[in-house]
Amino acid sequence: MKSQLKIFKIGGGIIDHEPDLLEFLRLFSEVSGPKILVHGGGKGASEMMTNLGIAPQMVNGRRITDAATLDIVTMFYAGKTNKQVVAGLQKLGVNALGLSGADGNVIQAVKRPVREIDYGFVGDLDETSINASLIHQFLELGLTPVFCPINHDGHGQLLNTNADTIAASLAKALSQQYAVELHFCFEKNGVLTDVNDNQSVIPKITPVNYTELKEQGIIAAGMLPKLENAFDALNYGVEKVIIEHALHINGTLKTELCMN
């Protein structure tokens, strides 16, 4: 029987509000057993870009990463944000290990090819990207990996990868050794039918009603890559995917994704 592994991903809305981040880290510290945290970037990088006269560019919830943007997001994501999260967890007694994909060659990405849109220095992941055996060793040592969204291509080039994609890819790769639960945590109670009503949670989403919700415009923008990654993870053997409020990870209001 596989031991359980819980992977949590938190987004920028939680990172940007320090009291919320501290409360999430407290709740995360109380999760028993092996666990992994993946974090997004928050507004800090975009604010610095604006101050430097660089307009942040987003398409369908994904950032366009040119060379100047890559420098800034690397500083914020792999530097300031990652180490603040790690320090916060150490304070709570969690022996956290902050990682980019380049560290230990733990995640290796491929630069996204230019098609209709040139995403710049954005890294895509495949089934060979995750060094699952090394991550397993970290977990066996009692370490809690904390991943930022910066990866590398193995040839010296850093790349920016959507944090939801990283979380889902980790879940898929580690599902060979663990019974994996993947949690996408943000500032809402789950997937909502009305974005202005945090109680309008859709408790269960299957591939069929996911298509219907997209066609109705209920699911759009930044939620699209989150759900696409979630269903991809389920297809690869991840046991459970949950979308929930970062401050209520033990609550009953949440959205569970399943195949039927």
Query: Per residue in 188-246, pLDDT tens?
Result: 999 999 888 999 999 999 998 999 999 988 887 778 878 888 899 999 999 999 999 99
> Annotated binding residue at 41?
yes
Mean pLDDT, residues 169-189: 95
Which is more confident, 103 or 41?
A: 103
Give residue for tokens 């849109």: 117
Of 109, 44, 29, the C-alpha closest to 76 is: 44
Q: Give me the pLDDT at residue 133, please.
A: 98
Query: How many CB atoms within 10 Å of residue 113?
Result: 8
Structural domains in the chain, sorted by start: 3-186 (3.40.1160.10)
Q: Does 92 score more than 70 pLDDT?
A: yes
Mean pLDDT, residues 86-94: 98
Q: Does 108 score more than 80 pLDDT?
A: yes
> Annotated binding residue at 160?
yes
Mean pLDDT value across the chain = 93
